């Protein structure tokens, strides 16, 4: 009978616990320093309004992998949902991500798809061959005016630096479309859980071999040597007491408002102007269009650098961060009986479906290693 300690009750920790409990003879202690399970995916129904609130910001499940969609649906019901985001810039409202409607509205034109492609090529900076950063990526694909309106201010607010300092990959998350498809994501499978995400974590952790202890930090565990293996899903720099310094993260915080009826008419509205201090406003009842609520809750989202005590959200992954990460990873490789898994422990920008897929693969690898007497994986296979 093996004894495992899992640190963190987000998707990585909860899925790992569930898989290990089913596949190995073991007991599992799962701890989380927060007073609840679910990590940043935690949802809770607001007592006063009845609205399902995504406590740590909107989480819209989307994936191109049917197996992962089916996996989630084994635990909870995902109701198909299409995220249609709007963006306000200089007093007008546009559709986001950039599509034919955005282009025509912004330039006051009625271009067809082919005409719009030609027009955008004429305003884009075609001299850029290999974009080296976020700004160059934008200039190459959409040109200066659309970039300034819809990306420059928003990105500066969200990341707290010039977009020239950020990797091009961040922009590649968003499509540019020459038709009227205003779906925020390209992934074909998209949904919102009928009863929130927390229910999935309750079900994952409902197993006789799993003991969940909330409000408990890793540093509170005195005898880690009593465990056959420790799985850490918190920030890797925290695990090593920040000995090489803190990895850069942006954090977000929310200003909550309550109103009667409908506050903004849409789940998410972004704000492109730099002068508007928040990046976006989310009104959570629009994520559950099948529910009726007389009152509404909305959240203005602000972004700032992560300091001690803040929740780390977006890994910045600047050059300096990546160097520190390599040092932490090298130290991790030297340890015995500890593995690192998930967004914070691997310091990567990951969506829910990535985290879920990786946790399932990792659990399988670990199980096989135990069963065959092989070396257990320290990190997931994915690139650092």
Closest CA to 13 of 369, 362, 370, 383: 362
Number of continuous H segments (helices) and E segments (strands) in the chain: 13, 17
Quick one: 63 or 270, whose CB is closer to ligand UDP?
A: 270
Does residue 170 touch ligand UDP according to CB under 6 A? yes
Quick one: which of 156, 216, 161, 160 has its CA closest to 31? 216
Residues 24, 111, 123, 174: which binds ligand UDP (CB under 6 A)? 174
Neighbours of 93 (CB within 10 A): 13
* Closer CB to ligand UDP, 233 or 270, in the complex: 270
State the CB neighbour count (10 A cutoff) for residue 43.
Answer: 22
Q: 312 to 351, contacts with ligand UDP by CB under 6 A?
A: none
Long-range pairs for 261-267 at CB < 8 Å and ≥24 separation? Answer: 261/294, 261/295, 261/296, 262/296, 263/296, 263/298, 264/298, 266/84, 266/85, 266/86, 267/58, 267/83, 267/84, 267/85
Packing angle, helices 198-205 and 11-23, rounded to 10 = 30
Q: Under the criterion CB under 6 A, does residue 352 sit at the interface with ligand UDP?
A: no
Closest CB 250 distance from ligand UDP, rounded Å: 9
* Closest distance to ligand UDP from the beta carbon of 271 (Å): 8
Contact predicate 22/207, CB 8 Å: yes
- Residue 351 falls in the annotated catalytic set: yes
| Contact between 157 and 273 (Cβ < 8 Å) | no
Helix (H) or strand (E) holding 268: strand 268-271
Instruction: Tell me how far, at minimum, the Cβ of 58 lies from ligand UDP, in Å.
Output: 8
In whole angstroms, the minimum distance from the beta carbon of 171 to ligand UDP comes to: 6
Q: Which residue, 230 or 352, is less far from ligand UDP as judged by CB?
A: 352
Interatomic CA distance for residues 353 and 11, integer angstroms: 10
Pick the stretch among 110-118, 168-176, 206-214, 304-312 that binds ligand UDP (CB under 6 A).
168-176
Query: What residues from 80 to 99 belong to the interface with ligand UDP (CB under 6 A)?
Result: 87, 96
Q: Is 301 a catalytic residue?
A: yes
Per CB under 6 A, which of residues 137..166 are in contact with ligand UDP? 150-151, 154-155, 158
Q: Is 177 designated active site?
A: yes
Question: Which residues inside 266-285 make contact with ligand UDP, applying CB under 6 A?
Answer: 270
The site for ligand UDP, by CB under 6 A, has a size of 12
Q: How many CB atoms lie within 10 A of CB 323?
A: 11
Q: What is the closest distance, in whole angstroms, from the C-beta atom of residue 315 to ligand UDP in the complex? A: 11
Q: Which is nearer to ligand UDP, 30 or 149 (CB)?
A: 149
Q: Which is nearer to ligand UDP, 123 or 174 (CB)?
A: 174
Peptide bond into 381 cis (omega under 30): no
Q: Give the max Cα distance, the chain.
A: 69
Is 246 annotated in the active site? no
Please say whether the beta carbons of 155 and 163 come within 8 A: yes
Q: Which of 19, 227, 280, 343 is catalytic?
A: 280
Among 244, 246, 349, 361, which one carries the catalytic annotation?
349
Task: Catalytic residue, from 29, 135, 177, 321: name it.
Answer: 177
Closest CB 264 distance from ligand UDP, rounded Å: 15
Tell whether residue 355 is a contact of ligand UDP (CB under 6 A). no
What are the catalytic residues? 173, 177, 250, 280, 301, 349, 351
Which residues contact ligand UDP by CB under 6 A? 87, 96, 150-151, 154-155, 158, 170-171, 173-174, 270
């Amino acid at each position: 009978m093996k004894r495992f300690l899992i640190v963190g009750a987000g998707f990585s920790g909860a899925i790992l616990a569930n898989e290990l409990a089913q596949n190995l003879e073991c007991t599992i202690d799962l701890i989380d320093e927060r007073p609840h399970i679910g990590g940043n995916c935690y949802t809770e129904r607001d007592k006063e309004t009845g609205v399902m609130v995504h406590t740590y910001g909107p989480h819209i499940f989307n994936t191109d992998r049917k197996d992962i969609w089916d996996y989630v649906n084994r635990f909870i019901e995902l109701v198909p949902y299409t995220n249609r985001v709007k963006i306000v810039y200089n007093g007008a409202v546009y559709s986001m991500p950039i599509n034919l409607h955005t282009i025509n509205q912004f330039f006051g034109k009625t271009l067809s798809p082919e005409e719009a492609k030609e027009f955008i090529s004429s305003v884009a900076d075609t001299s850029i061959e290999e974009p080296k950063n976020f700004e160059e990526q934008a200039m190459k694909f959409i040109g200066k005016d659309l970039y300034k309106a819809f990306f420059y201010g928003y990105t500066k607010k969200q990341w707290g630096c010039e977009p020239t300092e950020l990797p091009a990959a961040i922009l590649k998350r968003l499509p540019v479309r020459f038709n009227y498809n205003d779906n925020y994501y390209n992934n074909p499978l998209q949904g919102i859980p009928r009863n929130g995400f927390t229910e999935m974590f309750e079900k994952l952790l409902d197993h006789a071999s799993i003991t969940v202890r909330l409000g408990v930090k890793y540093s509170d565990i005195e005898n880690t040597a009593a465990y056959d293996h420790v799985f850490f899903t918190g920030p890797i720099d925290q695990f090593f007491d920040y000995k090489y310094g803190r990895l850069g993260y942006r954090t977000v915080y929310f200003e909550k408002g309550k109103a009667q009826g409908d506050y903004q008419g849409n789940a998410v509205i972004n704000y492109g102007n730099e002068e508007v201090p928040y990046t976006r406003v989310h009104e959570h009842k629009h994520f559950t269009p099948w529910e009726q609520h007389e009152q509404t809750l909305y959240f203005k989202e602000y972004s700032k650098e992560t300091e001690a005590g803040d929740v780390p959200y977006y890994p910045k992954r600047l050059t300096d961060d990546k160097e520190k990460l390599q040092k932490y990873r090298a130290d991790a490789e030297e340890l015995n009986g500890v593995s690192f898994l998930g967004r914070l422990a691997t310091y990567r920008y990951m969506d829910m479906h990535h985290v879920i897929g990786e946790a399932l693969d990792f659990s399988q690898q670990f199980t096989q290693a135990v069963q065959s007497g092989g070396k257990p994986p320290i990190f997931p296979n994915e690139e650092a």
